[in-house]
């Protein structure tokens, strides 16, 4: 049973998440041969104050 974890910044819509897990499931099934009903996809959302690039929190960046 494949387990896939997707870590991303929060802010995506439910429709975007649905599309993501569908495509990830399809890709894993196609490449590993695992049946789709055995593939688990976990989404871990992070806020910008929990993620840093180049030594700086994204919450400190001006957008």
- 14-51, pLDDT tens digit by residue? 999 999 999 999 999 999 999 999 999 999 999 999 99
Q: Which two tokens stand for residue 2?
A: 């494949």
**pTM, rounded to two decimals:** 0.84
How, if at all, do strands 40-46 and 3-9 pair?
parallel
Contact 34, 28 (CB under 8 A): yes
Given the residues 2, 12, 21, 58, the one annotated as active site: 2
Give the pair of three-digit tokens for residue 39.
Answer: 């593939």
2 catalytic per annotation: yes
Which residue segments constitute the domains of the chain, with CATH numbers given? 3-60 (3.30.429.10)
């Amino acid at each position: 049973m494949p387990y896939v974890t997707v870590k991303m910044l929060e802010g995506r819509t439910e429709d975007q998440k649905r599309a993501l897990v569908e495509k990830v499931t399809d890709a894993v099934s196609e490449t590993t041969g695992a049946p789709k009903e055995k593939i688990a996809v976990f989404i871990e959302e992070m806020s910008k104050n929990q993620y840093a690039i180049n030594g700086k929190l994204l919450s400190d960046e001006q957008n």
